[in-house]
Amino acid sequence: MELTTAHDRARDVFDRAVGAVRDWDGPTACGAWNARELVNHLVSEQLWVPHLVGGETIEQVGDRYDGDLVGDDPVGAWARASEVSRVAWAGVPDDRDVHLSYATVPARDYRWQMILDLAVHGWDLTAATDHDPAIGDALAEALLAEFTPEIARWEGTGIFAAPVPVPDHADATTRLLALTGRDPAWQP
């Protein structure tokens, strides 16, 4: 799957998830975060994008996106931040250096990380609202291809919980969720 298409699909997954929330203090499948906190996390990530793809370091961005960024309008905050990110990604070459907290990586790698976060956190949010996030087999397969080798290296860093066992014949979304430490059968 082409990178921009994958990003658009993942953004759509999260857009639909945000639109399905009715209880902003309700739990999500992402452990310690309720719906508001999870959306706040993704809003923050999107607001970082113009700085990082523009060449700034983590230190230069500093703490400007710490704290509550969603206020009384999580849906609006998400929509604005998502648009900021979408515009910032336009025309960014895949090989541009991006300074992350752990290393300098090509923009392509950073973008795939953003795609993974949007898709998986979209599922986290919709699992709590009993809606289908519709990650879809094509996006899930692309993410599995990109991240299956990476996840093992991330184990113990706190990025994801340990993978959850699922049957080998499980669909792509179930395998993706399990790889990122989510119980595909989770319910609030």
Instruction: Give the chain's residues under pLDDT 50.
Output: none
Side chain identity, residue 98: V
Look at residue 153 in the predicted model and tell me its pLDDT. 72
Determine contact, residues 133/16, Cβ cutoff 8 Å.
yes
Q: How many CB atoms lie within 10 A of CB 72?
A: 8
* CATH assignment, 3-135: 1.20.120.450
Q: Can you tell me whether residue 9 is helix, strand or coil? A: helix
Read off the pTM: 0.94
The residues, any chain, with a CB within 8 Å of residue 34's CB and separated by 6 or more, are 24, 25, 26, 27, 28
C-alpha to C-alpha distance for 86 and 46, rounded to whole angstroms = 9
Helix or strand (DSSP H, E) at 53: helix 35-53
| CA-to-CA dists, residue 188 to 143, 145, 148, 183, angstroms | 26, 30, 27, 12
Across the chain, which distance is largest between two alpha carbons, in Å? 46
